[in-house]
Structure formats: C-alpha cells, structure tokens
A and B are shown apart, each in its own frame.
Chain A
Amino acid sequence: MNITRSGRVATIVAASAITALALAGCASNESNPTKSPSNLSGTFAGAGSSAQGSAQEAWIAAFQTDNPKVTISYDPAGSGAGREQFIAGGVAFAGSDSYLSDEELAKTFAACAPGTKPFEVPNYISPIAVIFNVEGVTELNLDATVLADIFSGKITKWNDAAIAALNSGVTLPDLAITAVHRSDDSGTTKNFTDYLNKVAPDAWTNAAAGVFPFTSGEGANGTSGLVDAVKNGKGTIGYADLSKAGGLSVAKIKVGDTFVAPTEKGASTAVASATVVEGRDASDLAFKIDRNLTDPNAYPLILVSYLIGCQQYADPSIGELVKAYAGYIVSEAGQAAGAAAVGLAPLTAELSKQASDIIAAIK
C-alpha cells in the first residue's frame, strides 16, 4: 500500500515537473523564436569515410541530444561510396578521405540547388603513427626513405645499416622485420603511401593508393586488425591512427633535420601550413598537404578527411539542418568532443573559423 501511494505521489510530482518544463520551454521559445536550436526538426543522412565513422557517431549523439527532434544517420560505407551517393543525391552530406576530384566537381549534384556547387571543409584530422613491436627497442627514429624500403620489402632485418644509421646508441636485434599493412582499401594507407611517395619518391615510386601496392609484407584487416597484428607479432611494424596505437611503441619520423613524434598539435600545425587547392570556389577548402615540411613543430604524416555538402540545397529545410550540424562539427566544441571521443587532432582556431564562415553561408 505504502509503495503504491508513494508511487502515485512520485507520478504526480513528475507530471507537474514535466508540465512546468514544457511551459518554460514554450515561454523561452516565444521570447526568442529564432535562436533556439531545439526548433530544428527533420531527418537527413550522410555517408562516406569509415575513418570518420566513430567521430560522426560522437557528433551525431551530441547534436541529437541538443536537438532531440533531429535524426541524423551516417553510413561509413567508404569515401568513394560516400562521394558517389552525395553526387547522386542519395545523402545530404558526405565524409571523404580525399577531396572531390576535378572530374567529380564538374558533375551535377542532385541534392544541391540547380547550378550550385558543393562546399568542402576539413573536419577530421588525425596523425598517423608508425607503430612497432621489437623486443628491447622502445625508441626508434625513421625517415621516409627507410620507411619506404621497409614497407616495400627492401630492408628485411631490424639491424640493417640504414636503420642503425638513424638510431645511434640503440641496440637493434638481428630479427626479421614483419611490415604490416592494411589488407582492406583504406584512407590511412592512401595517406601513408602519399607521404612516402612525396617525401621519398626514389624509394617509393607508386603513387598514393588506398590499396597497398605490393604483394609483399603482411596484411591485416582494419585499424584494429593491424594494431592487433603488430601487438601480437614479432619484429613487427605498421601504421595506424595515433589514437588507436594502443600502447605500442611509436616511431619518430624525420621532419627537416629533426625527428618528430606524432602529436595532435603537430598534425594541426601541418594542416594550418597547407595550401588550398587553387582554381576552386572560396567555399572549397581542399588542402594540398605539404608532406615535405621542415618545421619541427609539424607532423606531416597525417590523414585529412573532409565534410562535403551543398552550398545551396534544393530543399532549404535540409540546408538548415546540415548548416546546424556541420557548424557544430567544425566548431571548437564539436572538435573538442571529437578529440575526447576518438582522439582526432582539433582544427586550429583559425581554420575552425574559416570553416565555420563557409558553413554559415549554406542555404
């Protein structure tokens, strides 16, 4: 009896509290009808980069908490698939590990208002760490040429003279190198091979590619599979997003004349000093990353992923939703949330402002 009674009391209290909240909500809406973000309602979808997948999940969760009437879905189907779907109008925005090619830009974008072009802003930057597991070695200096030779199978032993030359004072074992690469098509591989090709073009002659170009070496599926293979293997070396390096030893790579360890700050610095691809709209922040930076504060082995949407949507109500969501992603709060959730390198304040300005113009 007592329980029932107190239950009833609780119900009444709860009901009145809800009413009060609802009234308060109405009151604030009435006094300030345009500013309240919770007025937004609707559903829209995005697709693309799987590297961005977990960050998008975190952003969607945070955004939907603030805007309970909005439903967003993101399908991490892959960058190429995301761009294709966006061009075809299947999704309202795309996440992509590479910016739109000139060919793709020349196409008609079905979701956008006729005659308008898409915007592109970097929204996910992550340093790629070179991880290794060699007994007795915790610190390792490498340059692009040696890295290229290791991954192409030219250097096969850890005590190779080329590695020893960069690591004076470190005792390297007479152990076979097992270089682990991604066995799936991935943006991480694309950026890693781009770095090798740009910095050591003589040692790595293959152009950047999402599929590892050699049949030699060890392959592992996905970031977690690769990290697992490096962790459980013997004399292994691999590459993965820094946030996923999972307690493994991380090599320093040569930038200019110094050896630099991957950091979020170094990645942000590298993006800040990148040049924008020329001949595009002002709202197209496609970056040409300079892999040959010499600034010791920068770490040029990074993955930059983009958020792609319309400058003007065919359906203005979708435009309003994307504007709010994309604005949140590139804002300092959104980037901080991403850094906390998945360890991305937040955009610098300047870059964040630049991206926010572009997004503020979405119609």
Chain B
Amino acid sequence: MSATNAVVRRGDRVFSGFAYGSGIAILVVLAAVAVFLIAQSLPAVTATPSQVNQGGMSFWEYLLPLTFGTIWAAALSLIFAVPLSLGIALFISHYAPRRLAGVLGNVVDLLAAVPSVVYGLWGITVLAPSIQPIYEWMTVNLGWIPFFSGPVSGTGRTILTVAIVLAVMIIPIISALCREVFLQTPRLNEEAALALGATKWEMVRMAVLPFGRAGIVSAVMLGLGRALGETMAVAMVLSPSVIISFFLLRSENPTTIAANIALNFPEAHDIGVNILIATGLLLFIITLVINGIARLIISKRAAFSGANS
C-alpha cells in the first residue's frame, strides 16, 4: 500500500528527468560521433595509393603502422607510469607522514592540470636535448639489445622520449585513483595482517594490493585511454614516420593516429580528409576494445578482490 502510493514531489520528477536525460544525452552524443566517423570514413576505403600519398601505400597498409604506433607508444608509457604511480600512491596512502601526504597529493593532482601543449614544449626544449647523450651512450653500450640499436637520433626526439612525456602525463591520473583506492582498504584487514606478524611490505602485499586490484586496473585503463588519445605532446615531440619499428632510439619512429591527424589535417583536402577521419574511426574502435577488455578484467577480478567482503 505504502510502496505503491509513495509520495512523489516535484523535486523527484525533475531530478529523475534530469538523470534520465543526461544518461540518454551521452549515448546520443556517442552515437552521433560514431555515425559521423563512419559516414566520413566510407569514401576513404576506395582511396588509391596516390591519394593516400605515402610512398605508394594502399589505404589498409597505411592503417597498420598507425595502429601499431598508437598502441606501442601507449604501452611503452605504461611501462614507466604504472610502477611509478603505484609507488607514489602507496607512499601517499601508507608511508608518508600525514602532512607531507596532503601536500604531495596536491602536487600530483596539479600535474594533471598542466595542458598537454606545455608537456610538448618541455619535451622538445628540455627533455629531448638533455636525454640525447644518454641515448647515444645506450646505442654504444647496450646496442646489442635490438631495441637500443643505432643509428641514434641526433635530436633525441624518439618514441622513447614520447613514452616518457606520456608517462609524466598519465602518472597523476593513475596515482590519484590508486591513492583513493588504497585509502579505502578496511582498517581491520590491515591490522589483521599486522597482528599475524606481517611486515609493512607484507601487509601491503596481503591486504592493500589485493583489495585495490580492480581499482588499479581501472586506473591503469584510464591512463592508457589518455595515452592512446594524446595528440599535442606526441605531435610536437615525436619524429614520426608511417612505419612499424621496434627501435626506440632512432630517428624513424612509428607515429600515433591522433598525432598523425593533427599534423596532416590542416593541409588535407578532398579524400585526404576522409582518410584521416577513417584513422580517427580506427582510434575510436581501439579505445572501445581496450575499454571492453578492462571491463572484463574488472568484473572477473572483483569477485575475489575482497572489495565485497
């Protein structure tokens, strides 16, 4: 009786209407973007190699190196960013004195607010020139590892430099999320671990990390999303070519989809525009797939993460 005749005030109607509206709006926007991308991409499928204008590459041959470059750059940046971010998050949540933790947290958040064009400027004017001698040393002394073989780039504007810049950009995202997750660890779990004689590191390993696993994965995925789509910093720093290459220190580096669009769109015309938009569609799909994988991981892990205990 009381359930069916529940009082509905105007505020409830407005609020539920607004919530529904917002939910639908985001779907409509997404659908509109997808429709635009697909419609504009279709003419590109029939593009001839001369229209692609990349040394006789066909349209599909053009997509492959771009896909590789996008994922390669993002993956490299995660290699740097993930361990560092976890370290920062753990330090702030479990090691640092409270006052220092607050300051450090704010500083990390501040890093996230720096526009990417500034990171790009930093990359070309500071990082690349100062890291070039290190690259030179690496090709001489570590050149037997295929990744580091020469000839070394004379400017240091390689995919490795880009990965470092990207890592600096995504560290605040990953560490801020992880920090919040780690702070949620039930006090009882931590104290139980300590009571069983665990050291601090063992406590972190036994109580904090398992509890936060799903959170860590989603934080990494958010960071990965940013790295995949980052445009300006990559376009400014990287010395790009449309190639597939695993060498980290050479002048010829695989470029990313977003940077390639930014560099070539201003002068593109006719079917050239369609080709670039088609690569945009590809990026859209890559992001969708990676997000799907992340969801899958989170839903599988959530069951035994301890988050539901």
Interface string of B251-273 (1 = CB under 8 A from A): 11001000000011011111010
| Structural contact, A84 and B267, CB atoms closer than 8 A | no
A78, A213, A236: which contacts B267 (Cβ < 8 A)?
A78
Interface residues on B, range: 20 to 34
Q: List CB contacts (< 8 Å) of A53-81 with chain B.
A: 77-81
B54, B155, B240: which contacts A229 (Cβ < 8 A)?
B155
Q: With a CB–CB cut-off of 8 A, which chain B residues contact A79? A: 267
B53, B124, B156: which contacts A211 (Cβ < 8 A)?
B53
Cα-based distance from A217 to B157 in the complex (angstroms)? 12
Q: With a CB–CB cut-off of 8 A, which chain B residues contact A77? A: 266
Cα-based distance from A186 to B268 in the complex (angstroms)? 10
Stretch at the interface among B82-90, B125-133, B192-200: B125-133
B243 interfacial contact with A, CB 8 Å: yes
Q: With a CB–CB cut-off of 8 A, which chain B residues contact A225? A: 124, 236
| Structural contact, B267 and A80, CB atoms closer than 8 A | yes
Interface string of A137-157 (1 = CB under 8 A from B): 000000000000000000010
Q: List CB contacts (< 8 Å) of A80-128 with chain B.
A: 80-81, 83-84
> B128 — nearest CB in chain A belongs to which residue?
A232
A78, A83, A213, A233: which contacts B266 (Cβ < 8 A)?
A78
A248 interfacial contact with B, CB 8 Å: no
Cα-based distance from A43 to B66 in the complex (angstroms)? 42
B153 interfacial contact with A, CB 8 Å: yes
A176 interfacial contact with B, CB 8 Å: yes
A29 interfacial contact with B, CB 8 Å: no
> A228 — nearest CB in chain B belongs to which residue?
B124
Taking the nearest CB of chain A, how far is it from the CB of B125, in angstroms? 7
Taking the nearest CB of chain A, how far is it from the CB of B290, in angstroms? 26
Q: With a CB–CB cut-off of 8 A, which chain A residues contact B269? A: 78, 80-81, 83-84
| Structural contact, B267 and A186, CB atoms closer than 8 A | yes
A177, A215, A228: which contacts B243 (Cβ < 8 A)?
A215
> B54 — nearest CB in chain A belongs to which residue?
A211
Interface string of A170-182 (1 = CB under 8 A from B): 0000001110100
| Structural contact, A178 and B251, CB atoms closer than 8 A | yes
Taking the nearest CB of chain A, how far is it from the CB of B284, in angstroms? 23
Q: With a CB–CB cut-off of 8 A, which chain B residues contact A178? A: 153-155, 251
Q: List CB contacts (< 8 Å) of B199-238 with chain A.
A: 235-236, 238
Q: List CB contacts (< 8 Å) of A164-202 with chain B.
A: 176-178, 180, 183-186
Taking the nearest CB of chain A, how far is it from the CB of B73, in angstroms? 15
A293 interfacial contact with B, CB 8 Å: no
Cα-based distance from A334 to B156 in the complex (angstroms)? 41
Interface residues on A, range: 35 or more
Taking the nearest CB of chain A, how far is it from the CB of B44, in angstroms? 16
| Structural contact, A216 and B252, CB atoms closer than 8 A | yes
A296 interfacial contact with B, CB 8 Å: no
A265 interfacial contact with B, CB 8 Å: no
Cα-based distance from A93 to B125 in the complex (angstroms)? 37
A41 interfacial contact with B, CB 8 Å: no
| Structural contact, B132 and A233, CB atoms closer than 8 A | yes
Q: With a CB–CB cut-off of 8 A, which chain A residues contact B128? A: 232
Cα-based distance from A213 to B55 in the complex (angstroms)? 6
A210, A220, A235: which contacts B239 (Cβ < 8 A)?
A220
> B264 — nearest CB in chain A belongs to which residue?
A185
| Structural contact, B266 and A176, CB atoms closer than 8 A | no
Cα-based distance from A236 to B132 in the complex (angstroms)? 13
| Structural contact, B155 and A211, CB atoms closer than 8 A | no
Taking the nearest CB of chain B, how far is it from the CB of A155, in angstroms? 13
Cα-based distance from A177 to B151 in the complex (angstroms)? 10
Cα-based distance from A83 to B270 in the complex (angstroms)? 12
From B157, B236, B264, B270, residue with most partner A Cβ within 10 Å: B157
Cα-based distance from A211 to B153 in the complex (angstroms)? 21
Cα-based distance from A233 to B129 in the complex (angstroms)? 7
A221 interfacial contact with B, CB 8 Å: yes
B241 interfacial contact with A, CB 8 Å: yes
> B53 — nearest CB in chain A belongs to which residue?
A211
A209 interfacial contact with B, CB 8 Å: yes
Taking the nearest CB of chain B, how far is it from the CB of A275, in angstroms? 27
Taking the nearest CB of chain A, how far is it from the CB of B227, in angstroms? 19
| Structural contact, A234 and B264, CB atoms closer than 8 A | no
Taking the nearest CB of chain A, how far is it from the CB of B121, in angstroms? 9
B166 interfacial contact with A, CB 8 Å: no
From A77, A216, A225, residue with most partner B Cβ within 10 Å: A225
Q: With a CB–CB cut-off of 8 A, which chain A residues contact B270? A: 80, 84
A218 interfacial contact with B, CB 8 Å: yes
> A177 — nearest CB in chain B belongs to which residue?
B154
Taking the nearest CB of chain A, how far is it from the CB of B262, in angstroms? 8
> A133 — nearest CB in chain B belongs to which residue?
B154
Cα-based distance from A217 to B240 in the complex (angstroms)? 9
| Structural contact, A233 and B155, CB atoms closer than 8 A | yes
Q: With a CB–CB cut-off of 8 A, which chain A residues contact B132? A: 233-234
Q: With a CB–CB cut-off of 8 A, which chain A residues contact B129? A: 232-233
Cα-based distance from A183 to B54 in the complex (angstroms)? 12
> A213 — nearest CB in chain B belongs to which residue?
B55
> B243 — nearest CB in chain A belongs to which residue?
A215
B242 interfacial contact with A, CB 8 Å: yes
25 example contacts (A-B, Cβ-Cβ < 8 A) are as follows A79-B267, A80-B268, A80-B272, A81-B267, A83-B269, A176-B154, A177-B154, A178-B155, A178-B251, A180-B239, A185-B268, A186-B267, A211-B53, A216-B251, A216-B252, A218-B239, A220-B155, A225-B124, A229-B155, A232-B125, A232-B128, A232-B155, A233-B132, A234-B132, A236-B154
Ranked 3 nearest A-B pairs via Cβ: A178-B154, A233-B155, A185-B267
Q: Residues on A close to B: CB < 8 A?
A: 50, 77-81, 83-84, 156, 176-178, 180, 183-186, 209-211, 213-221, 225, 228-229, 232-236
